[in-house]
Structure 1
Amino acid sequence: MSRLIVISNRVAVPKKGASANQGGLAVALQSALREHGGLWFGWSGETCETFDGTIHRAEGDGVNTATIDLEEQDIDEYYNGFANRTLWPLFHYRIDLTEFERDFEGGYQRVNDRFADTVMPLVEEPDLVWVHDYHLIPLGQKLRRRGMRNRIGFFLHTPWPPTRLLTALPSHRKLVDSLFAYDVVGFHTEDWLDSFQHYVTSMMGGTVDGDIVSAGGRTIRAIVAPIGIDTAEFEAAARSDEANFARDRMYMSATGRSLMVGVDRLDYSKGLRERFLGYDRFLASHPDRRGLTSFLQIAPPSREKVDTYQEIRADLDALSGRINGEYADIDWTPIRYVNRGYPREELAGIYRAAHIALVTPLRDGMNLVAKEYVAAQDPNDPGVLVLSVFAGAAAQMREAVLVNPYSAEEMADAIVTALAMPREERIRRWQALIDGVRREDVFWWCRLFLDTLEDASE
């Protein structure tokens, strides 16, 4: 088998007890690289005064990495700018938060050029190259212009926006055109693929024939490949000593109450404000249930230099304080809101202790927390997954309690449904969910994408 060269914005050398801040993509890529071998290339997260292409190599837990530092201006324009103030909100349907600045796009293109220049010498002729996510959409085109003939695939971990939204981006045609430098482009769901195909046919005069998409004399394969988790590893983590200790801490803190948990990066796409308001509606509508539930929201901060994220944190601080002030009693706090991450083993124990998981993003490419929660459950007494219909995971996890996160009433009703659900129904739903999470795990996802890439025409 050819080596696998993974290229993504950030690279995390895996270590035992890695923080929950690491994110689902990092964990998934580490699992894929352990199975296939190769190299993970990207930004180190560090800055340099002047970019010189110096590569930092490391190895950890069976994964080889190569990273570069970026200049402050690169980070401001490429990462904080075009990636996270332009593409991220636009791809998550938040055009009201999208910022259009030419300097941002200039930095985005410059950093993609730097990635291309630096990674080219590391790639050998038979290697498969797998580029990840919205930070690096133009990278395949830049590698082709430098003479790379390897098979190159691209996977988008966010939603792909509808055509009418995408056309708000001044350089939308240039962005989509660059995707045709890849051999295979992957999306999590049929919805995201349909939106991409619609743009190609309506804006580029292209054609679609099954998974073959053509435009401007070029042809690629565009596929649906929903990412999974390393299910066996996470199930084992849920049985670890660290998980058992975390579970017991949760039980002791709950003092007999029903536990609910949410675990999300602090981001407006995750619907945390709407989740808090849904819980608020539940408490207001069911006074007899006050004091009988305990809701833990774990939300480690991210992108703290972007003003929007500072505003989110301030808003949630105020909202959780208002809810606690209105409903708390001397021996009960409705919401415990924690701005920090936890190691995976501890998270697994927290999930296992929770009677309900609230996974209610306003828009999400997939959402691996939903799958981790299912994998962590006790088969004899599983909890209930409340899942947003706007998460990519909803397409695979139909046995969850599906909810519209924009509706506080639906959120409140879903909590009531989950709390009242009989054990037999919980087991039936969980069994169907865990079967899917085990079957379509990260290794299945990796094989599906890479088999397609290996089969692609040169």
Structure 2
Amino acid sequence: MVVSNRVPVPSDSGSPAAGGLAVALNAALQQRGGFWFGWSGNVSEEETPLQVHDFGRVSYAVTDLSQRDIDEYYAGFANRALWPVCHYRLDLTEISANDTAGYFRVNEFFARRLATLLKPDDVIWIHDYHFIPLAAYLRQMGFENRMGFFLHIPWAPYDVSSALPAYQTVLSGLTRYDVVGFQTRRDVENFTRCLEQEKMARDLGDGRWEADGRVFKVDAFPIGIETDLFRQEAREAKSNSLVRRMRASMEDKHLIIGVDRLDYSKGIRQRIEAFACMLERFPNMRNKVTFLQITPKSRSEVPEYLKMQHEVAEQAGWTNGKFGDVDWTPVRYINKAVSRTSLAGLYRSARVGMVTPLRDGMNLVAKEYVASQRGTDPGVLVLSRFAGAAEELDSALLVNPYDTEATANAIVRALEMSLEERKERWKAMMARLRSNTVDHWCANFMAVLTQEQSCALPKGAENGHAAPVEPTIAREAAHFGQPMAGYRRN
């Protein structure tokens, strides 16, 4: 049983949604059989039935949410409290009692709907920050299935994460899983330090912790990509029309590429500033290089993202106005999504890949850029040391994205790097990508989760119906001003 906020329900042809994570999880489900459960992406003010779509051995089970649910659970607590705190941005964190209550209320709603699908031998793998409390609700309903949780974003250190609204309840919710997975060792250390500071769990050694009589495992599971498949797509993309047009327009100039969802954690403004600084300090680079920044819009309903959209566009325009010429546009800023095949071809065409987030759980763009390169003439990855990918891709040019001049120097170094050094760095990173693909990541997590498996359902739940909720859930929910037992949509 896979749980994620959005569920990539296949088309009528049965083809799964594109993307490494979706493909890997779909493959794991096809092997074992099971459900993929989450939000449909649709808004409904009425409580609609659970929608189930069967494709092969996988059933995709989705439910609608009300506008209030989306405003409080998703746009509110998840993306205006959890997201900024986990990305070390306390200045952008919004504390709202209504949003906090809505986050837990909607998680209980998801738990109750999921409970109707569960069978005694189901293994449950829950993904990302939207669903941290889900296991706690299922445990309070009496379910003892194996439950794993993987956080795709960073976990901040104690002095940052403790600023989160309902911090102790969120932290306690993670102790209700059997396995808690993070992207990096740094995230594991930050999380376990939080457990120690709050005296919430006891360290048993070897990554095992005990809380309230339950033993759970905490470890790093760095996510990978479909390395060989992505390399193949990059090779075949030479015939892609977008890639051909881009190459023709470049003439003999070098291409620098950045690809990010529009988010303040990605360091896009700092990256453009570093590129402008490079043009200022190294005039010989003018008219010899073009920076392509592909940035699909994201979470436009959140004010901070709308503000950033205007700021990045203004910065790109300022850079072009100052340094551009009638026959040369230094920055090409694209505000729309590009197909995976086109991206693979554009990566392959770029001499430099700029992946410089201010903070990121992993950042798969870094891995995709490396995988797409020609072994005979690879480009250079300029990578933020604050991206999770830096733990594996330490042969990249690692930079501090806050240091504009140092990043500008790294861009020049990448452009002028010898072929021999480029090959050496690329080979070292490719070895990491081949040893840790997305399939390996999925298999490694499931191997740990299913160890010493004990999947007993509570008495009375054998037919897919959960046992009554323990009264303690109502007492815990009182902190958020909402009686959660007996959930009501409106």
TM range (shorter): over 0.9
- Which amino acid in the other structure matches residue 337 of structure 2? G
Shift of 1:335: 0.4
Match in the other structure for 1:230 = 226
2:130 is aligned with 1:173 = no
1:306 equivalent to 2:278? Answer no
Does residue 413 (structure 1) correspond to residue 409 (structure 2)? The answer is yes
State which of 323, 327, 334 in structure 2 corresponds to 1:331.
Answer: 327
Q: Tell me what 2:118 maps to.
A: 123
- Aligned residue in 2 for 1:10: 6
- Is 1:344–2:315 an aligned residue pair? no
CA contact (8 A) 1:389 1:403 kept: yes
Question: CA-to-partner distance for each residue in 1:22-67, whole Å, 9 max, x for gaps?
Answer: 7664455345434544221110111001224x22223569854211
Establish whether residue 87 from structure 1 lines up as the match of residue 109 from structure 2.
no
Aligned to 1:217: 213
Bigger Rg, which one: 2
Q: Secondary structure at the match of 1:382?
A: coil
Aligned pair in 2 of structure 1 residues 358, 89: CA closer, same or farther (>3 Å)? same
Residue 425 of structure 2 corresponds to residue 429 of structure 1: yes
- Which residue in 1 is equivalent to 2:52? 57
Residue from 129, 148, 151 that aligns with 2:146: 151
Structure 1 stretch 295-304 or stretch 113-122: which is displaced more? 113-122
Q: Which amino acid aligns with 1:383?
A: G
In terms of mean alpha carbon deviation, does 228-237 or 261-270 score higher?
A: 228-237
Identify which of 444, 448, 455 aligns with 2:451.
Answer: 455
Q: Does the C-alpha gap of structure 1 residues 390 and 40 become closer, same or farther in structure 2, counting only changes over 3 Å? A: same
The answer for the alignment partner of 2:100 in structure 1 is 105
How far 1:269 sits from its partner (Å)?
A: 0.3
Counterpart residue number, 1:197: 192
What secondary structure, in the 3-state scheme, does the structure 2 residue paired with 1:181 have? coil
Aligned to 2:39: 43
Change (3 A) 1:205 1:47: closer
Which residue number corresponds to residue 276 of structure 1? 272
RMSD (Å) for aligned C-alpha atoms? 1.9
Q: 1:173 is aligned with what amino acid?
A: Q
Contact 2:237–2:243 under 8 Å retained in 1: no
Is 2:365 aligned against 1:369?
A: yes
Matched residues in 1 for 2:288 and 2:114: separation? 55
1:183 pairs, out of 173, 178, 186, with 178
Q: Where does structure 2 lack aligned partners over 5 or more consecutive residues?
A: 455-490
Is the CA contact 1:112–1:139 (under 8 Å) kept in the aligned structure 2? yes
Contact 1:200 1:215 in 2 (8 A): no
Q: Could you report, residue by residue, the CA deviation over 1:307-364 in whole angstroms, capped at 9, with x for unpaired residues?
A: 0000010000110000000001111000000011111111111111111110000000
Equivalences, count: 449
TM superposition shift of 1:415: 0.4
Listed one character per residue, the Cα deviations across residues 110-151 of structure 1 (whole Å, up to 9, x for unaligned) are 111111111122222212110000000000111112222210
Between stretches 291-300 and 448-457, larger displacement belongs to 448-457
- Determine if contact 1:15/1:61 at 8 Å carries over to the other structure: no
CA 1:226–1:61: 2 relative to 1, 3 Å: farther
CA distance in 2, matches of 1:324, 1:118: 52
Q: Which SS does the other structure have where 1:122 is aligned?
A: coil
For 2:471, the equivalent position in structure 1 comes to none
Q: Percent identity?
A: 46
Distance of 2:238 and 2:351 partners within structure 1: 19
Task: Determine the C-alpha separation between the residues in 1 that align with 2:250 and 2:217.
Answer: 50
Q: Answer yes or no: is the 8 Å Cα contact 1:348–1:373 preserved in 2.
A: yes
Match among 386, 391, 400 for residue 390 of structure 1: 386
1:439 counterpart residue number: 435
Is the 2:6–2:41 contact (alpha carbons within 8 Å) kept by the matching residues of 1? Answer: yes
Displacement of 1:207 in angstroms is 2.6
TM-fit CA distance, 1:425: 1.3
Conserved? CA contact 2:366–2:383, under 8 Å = yes
Three-state SS of the structure 2 residue aligned to 1:280 is helix
- Asked if structure 1 preserves the Cα contact closer than 8 Å seen for 2:262 and 2:297, the reply is yes
**Residue matched to 2:137:** 142
Q: Please, what TM-score do these two structures have when normalized by structure 2?
A: 0.88
Matches of 1:354 and 1:61 in 2, distance apart?
39
- Corresponding residue SS for 1:405: coil
The alpha-carbon deviation at position 15 of structure 1 amounts to 6.1
Tell whether the 8 Å contact from 2:393 to 2:429 is kept in structure 1 after alignment. yes
Of 203-212 and 296-305, the range deviating more from structure 2: 203-212
The aligned amino acid for 1:225 is F
Q: How far did residue 105 of structure 1 move?
A: 1.1
Cα distance change on mapping 1:205 and 1:73 into 2, 3 Å: closer
